[in-house]
Amino acid sequence: MQLSDRFLNFVNQQLKSFQAESEIEHLVVYIAQSRDGESPSLEAVGQWPSPEKVFQPVEADPELRAPSPDRRWYPLQDGTILLGVLRVERFRSNKAWSDALDQRLQATAFALANCLGLELDRIKLIDELSKQREQISSMVHQLRNPLAALRTYAQLLLRRLGPDSSHRTLVEGLMSEQAQLNKYISALDELSQDKLPSARTNLTPLLLPPVLQKTSSLNVRSLLEPLINRASATADLQGRQWFAPSYWPSWADQLRPKEDGVIAEIVANLLENAFRYSDQFSAVGLCLTDQGLCVWDEGSQILSEERELIFQKGFRGKTSFENLGSGLGLALGRQLAEQMGGSLELIVPPKNFEPNLPEKGNAFVLKLS
């Protein structure tokens, strides 16, 4: 749990306020910490005076198991929920604890409990907001692919219409609306990238699964066929050569759980990247073998120093800054592949994956379990 400096400073100020109390030897504030698969523990977050060694969690200190008339515990509670505890050690004495000191310690524990409750609420809200922003970022990334496909189909339709066709205005209107949607999506992307003092630094956004048929299983061929049609239309519009799969291995027709529908999202992003970032008019293709599948292009090879960095969230290569993008697709694609027990890697050049593929360019290889 990442506590704010404001809260920790408040704890220290409250503890230092007892430095004039001649009876007090040590004050320690613990908070309850819970970890997956482990029992909750009470861990020190503030102490006075600052000792040479940091106090251990309560459970790890055997001396605290023995009762002592010179030690008191004041719970930090939110109703019936124990948030933490204030431990007070006084110098050894045969005298009873004074009522005035006890009341002051109770008041301090009450103030610490209220502040700790607010701190936990703050952490929870930041955690929820961080997750929402990560989800927005993932959704924005996904929306770019179908919008790009809509523009491709609209441009192809416009080519087929005569200059005097009454339908040109409608198609041009669709393209204008698509461009406007792209602006809104870019604005959402910027909002999702705002940095927050998040209490969680290991959040991992996931792509949402595609819209699937209401069945319990699917196969890779059915997932790839719509993407092949889209890629063919994109290549036609851009004046590129497109190479659809010429071989379908048996695993492509095997039934898989519907959760593996994310394969379509991974391949869609790889194809979009190939058409967006490879050299103009370079060939693009999708190849399946008994070992896996790859999306390849015959463009300039990705720089050797960037070949692993491109799989890091937010990283964009030197040649990609002129194009729209969030630097999420490859990182998310690799994570999804690994969650399915597979892998996603870059192989340069494509012929190193399949001898019949080009001798230059890039191949992003997806292997499935």
Average pLDDT over residues 199-220: 53
Question: CA neighbours within 13 Å on the CB side: how many for 227?
Answer: 25
pLDDT for 210 equals 44
Q: What is the DSSP letter of 239?
A: T
27 beta partners: 48, 88
| Rounded Cα distance, 60 and 62, in Å | 6
pLDDT for 173 equals 78
pLDDT for 216 equals 63
pLDDT for 317 equals 66
85 beta partners: 30, 75
- Residue 293, classed as helix, strand or coil, is strand
Per DSSP (E only), the strands in 125-278 are 217-218, 242-243, 256-257
63 or 26: whose pLDDT is higher? 26
pLDDT for 90 equals 92
> For residue 132, how far is the Cα from the chain centroid?
10
**pLDDT band per the 50, 70, 90 thresholds, residue 203:** very low
Q: What is the pLDDT of residues 30-42, one digit of tens each?
A: 998 877 666 778 8
Closest CA to 26 of 44, 9, 42, 1: 44
- pLDDT of 15 above 80: yes
- Helix 262-277 vs helix 220-238: crossing angle, to nearest 10: 20
pTM: 0.53
Q: What is the DSSP letter of 88?
A: E
Q: What is the pLDDT of residues 125-148, one digit of tens each?
A: 998 988 888 888 888 888 888 888
Q: Which strands sit side by side in the sheet containing 284-288, from one edge to the other?
A: 242-243, 284-288, 293-297, 362-367, 343-347
Q: Best-predicted range by mean pLDDT among 2-11, 29-38, 170-179, 286-295? A: 286-295
Q: What is the pLDDT of residues 242-281, one digit of tens each?
A: 999 999 999 999 999 988 888 998 999 999 999 999 998 9
User: pLDDT > 90: what percent of the chain?
Assistant: 49
- Residue 155, classed as helix, strand or coil, is helix
Average pLDDT over residues 339-359: 95
pLDDT for 356 equals 95
Q: What is the pLDDT of residues 284-298, one digit of tens each?
A: 999 999 999 999 999
- Tokens 């030197």 correspond to 318
Whether omega for the bond prior to residue 49 falls within 30 degrees of 0, making it cis, is: yes
Closest CA to 76 of 39, 103, 115: 115
- pLDDT of 99 above 60: yes
Q: Are 125 and 102 spatial neighbours (Cβ–Cβ below 8 Å)?
A: no
| Rounded Cα distance, 52 and 321, in Å | 51
**pLDDT band per the 50, 70, 90 thresholds, residue 221:** very high
